Chain A
Amino acid sequence: MNRRIEDHPVLGAIKEKQYVAFTFNEKQYKGLKDESLAAALLANGVRTLRHHEESGTPRGIYCNIGHCFECRVTVNGKSGVRACLTPLQEGMVVKSGGKLPTPVRDWRDEHE
């Protein structure tokens, strides 16, 4: 699925043409070098970037400028990276977070 706006009536044709390969949850994708990881994923039709840590509900891009932290993913082993602020590089290994295995425990009784 290609969602790229190749030609634009005012902005013209896309200038950048250098595609690089990366993986998202072990699947191979291609995106334009230095475009945001969020844009690269959306261009490939990927909308769900992670599942919420507690509720497990799907999450995607919300603000697209780094403010909301909805698009956080793990990039090359580093977690909590905002996809909308990360320039895509060749060979990037991207993983989405999911629901945590253990619920948050109420520790108050033990620590009072």
Chain B
Amino acid sequence: MNDVIIIGAGPAGLSAAITCARKGLQTLVIDEYMKPGGRLLGQLYEEPSGLWWNGIEESERIYKEAVELGVEIGLNTSVNNIEKEHDHWVIYTEKNVLYSEQLLLATGAAESPIPVPGWTLPGVMSVGAAQVMTNVHRVKPGNRGVIIGVNVLSAAIAMELQLAGVEVASLTLPKLNKVTKETAQPRVVLDSLLHVSHMAPSKLVRYGSKLMKNNLLKKMGISFYPKQGFKMWDIPIQLRKAVVEIYGDEAVTGVKLATIDPHGEVVAGSEEEMDCDFVCIAGGLYPLAELAAVAGCPFYLVEELGGYVPLHNEQMATPIKNLFVAGNITGIEGAKVAMKQGITAGLSIAENAGVQGLTQEIQHAVQVTEQTREDAYIQFHPDVKKGRRVIQEEWEACMVTVQ
């Protein structure tokens, strides 16, 4: 019997493991991936200080720290099911059955796909797949690619691909349909892009984003200036084009691009072909919460957090006894926030296990998480704080009902 099992060896899971081990808990971390670090592994970007945030180095650092503290880490271990037996958890993995007093789910996020005709062709992959291929495995996803979906994640990965010598021919929109909705509307996308304009080294984009704070100017901007596209980090961003088809016989050989109006509607007869040998689909991230559902945790749909999230409080506890959550399963945010949530969860688990005198430390950890959120360089959702408030209100309402 373990004191605590943590599912997910990413920034949240490993930070929680370090915290639990420091408080004397016998801790096991499992993950189905072959390397520790989760999706932190692929991250690579330059911070305002000029220093590079290198996900591989960060992952190594927290992994080593966990191992030195005696945390057991089981990689290549997929979880098939979770059950509660009496007062403890039973974790069924592909290799064995594990038992634990307490359970932390730090399963992270998954990518939402965007269905496009031809999207099952080899060479079409999620934008995160291209990131992992490039930065973790050091294999080029292709020589020349088109990215469908313009958002914080795809813009950052486009830059990473370019850094690795892979040509990004175009960063463009998906075709408007019931699934793509606002992500296919140039005006809405431009709005959200303004939130990342501070990341752009190009003075023109920065200047443009200042100009476009004003709504009328924004409308003018979307009508005139991005029509032929503009460049961010030397990558052509085309908000007035959408991919209507991906083609190729055995693998991708190109995409069909159409011109779209400011509302996302395709201009008839405007289709043109663009050669490429790979296509990335960037539909955004959503919390990967299946295991919380299996464990019986209630859920709320909070758009600002990226989708359905298990009910939890600021201390990362769920209403289910001995079940905790941390990281992107609680809402889509950056790795730094995930790490702080992991520390908070670790402390809560230790307190729940009977370690005394942690109240102040937990309060401090909650504040540090909030501050980290405040200082985040990249915000995946501009209203994430509102999302956090919504889930906190649901928590309070739920606790009243229980009492």
Q: Which residues of A contact B (CB under 8 A)?
A: 3-6, 8-11, 14, 34-36, 39, 42-43, 47-49, 52, 57-68, 70, 85-87
Instruction: State the CA gap A62–B164 with chains docked (Å).
Output: 20
- What per-residue 1/0 map shows which CB atoms of B46-66 lie under 8 Å from chain A? 000000101010000000000
Evaluate contact between B139 and A59: CB separation under 8 angstroms: no
* Leading 8 A-B pairs by shortest Cβ distance: A60-B122, A64-B129, A39-B137, A47-B122, A3-B140, A5-B138, A43-B139, A47-B251
Which of A9, A35, A66 contacts B137, CB < 8 Å?
Answer: A35
Known: A39-B137, A58-B251, A59-B120. 14 other contacts (CB 8 A): A5-B134, A5-B139, A8-B138, A10-B163, A39-B133, A47-B250, A48-B122, A59-B122, A64-B126, A64-B132, A65-B128, A67-B110, A85-B33, A86-B34
B123 touches A60 (CB 8 A): yes
Chain B: CB-nearest residue to A7: B165
Q: Which of A6, A64, A85 counts the most B-chain CB atoms under 10 A from its CB?
A: A64
- Chain A min CB distance to B113 (Å): 8
With both chains docked as a complex, state the minimum distance between the C-beta of B134 and any C-beta of chain A, in angstroms.
7
The complex places the Cα of A5 from the Cα of B132 at a distance, in Å, of 13
- B128 adjacent to A58 (CB under 8 Å): no
Q: How far is the CB of B313 from chain A (nearest CB, A)?
A: 28
Contacts of B135 in A (CB 8 A): 11
Contacts of B141 in A (CB 8 A): 42
Chain B residues with a Cβ under 8 A of chain A: 32-34, 39, 44, 52, 54, 56, 76, 78, 110-111, 113, 120-126, 128-130, 132-135, 137-142, 163-165, 250-251, 288
> Separation in Å of the A19 CB from the closest CB of chain B?
14
18 A-B residue pairs with Cβ-Cβ distance under 8 Å, sorted by A, are A3-B139, A4-B139, A5-B134, A5-B164, A8-B138, A10-B54, A10-B163, A36-B137, A49-B122, A52-B120, A59-B120, A59-B122, A63-B110, A64-B126, A64-B132, A65-B132, A85-B33, A87-B76
Query: Are A61 and B139 touching (Cβ within 8 A)?
Result: no
Question: In terms of DSSP, what is the predominant structure of the interface of chain A?
Answer: loop
Q: How many Å from the CB of B178 to the closest CB on chain A?
A: 21
Residue of A nearest to B130 (CB): A64
**CA A43 to CA B124, docked complex, whole Å:** 16
Q: Is the CB of A47 within 8 A of B33?
A: no
Contact B129–A8 (Cβ < 8 Å): no
Contact B32 A66, beta carbon cutoff 8 Å: yes
CB proximity of B185 to chain A, nearest CB, Å? 26
Contacts of A4 in B (CB 8 A): 138-140
> In angstroms, how far is the closest chain A Cβ from the Cβ of B158?
15
Task: Name the residue of chain A whose CB is nearest to the CB of B142.
Answer: A3
Q: With the chains together, A48 CA to B124 CA distance in Å?
A: 11
Most buried by B among A11, A61, A65, A70: A65
Q: Give the Cβ gap from B274 to chain A, nearest Cβ, in Å.
A: 19
In the assembled complex, the CB of B141 is this many whole angstroms from the nearest CB of chain A, namely: 7
How many Å lie between the Cα of A60 and that of B132 in the bound state?
A: 15
What's the Cα separation between A45 and B34 when bound, in Å? 22
Contact: A62 with B125, CB < 8 Å?
yes
Which residues of chain A have C-beta atoms less than 8 A from B34's C-beta?
34, 36, 85-87
Residues of B within 8 A of A65 (CB): 33, 39, 128-129, 132
Given contacts A61-B125, A87-B34, contact A14 B138 (CB under 8 A): yes
In the complex, which residues of chain A have a beta carbon less than 8 angstroms from the beta carbon of B132?
Answer: 64-65
Q: Bound complex: CA of A67 vs CA of B56, how far in Å?
A: 21
Contact yes or no, A8 B164, CB < 8 A: yes
A22 to B137, CA, bound (A): 18
A43 CB to closest chain B CB, in angstroms? 5
- Most chain A CB within 10 A, of B134, B138, B141, B163, is at B138
B201 to chain A, nearest CB (A): 15
A29 to chain B, nearest CB (A): 13
Known contacts A5-B134, A85-B33; A11/B125 CB under 8 A? no
In the assembled complex, the Cα of A65 lies from the Cα of B122 at a distance in Å of 16
Using CB atoms, name the residue of chain B closest to A34: B34
A31 to B129, CA, bound (A): 19
Complex formed: what's the CA distance from A87 to B34 in Å?
A: 7
| Chain A residues with CB under 8 A of B251 | 47-48, 58, 60
User: How far is A27 from B139 in the complex, measured between Cα atoms in Å?
Assistant: 20
A62:B137 contact, CB within 8 angstroms: no
Q: Name, among B52, B111, B134, B139, the residue most crowded by chain A CB atoms within 10 Å (CB to CB).
A: B139
Look across to chain B and name the residue whose beta carbon is closest to the beta carbon of A70.
B120
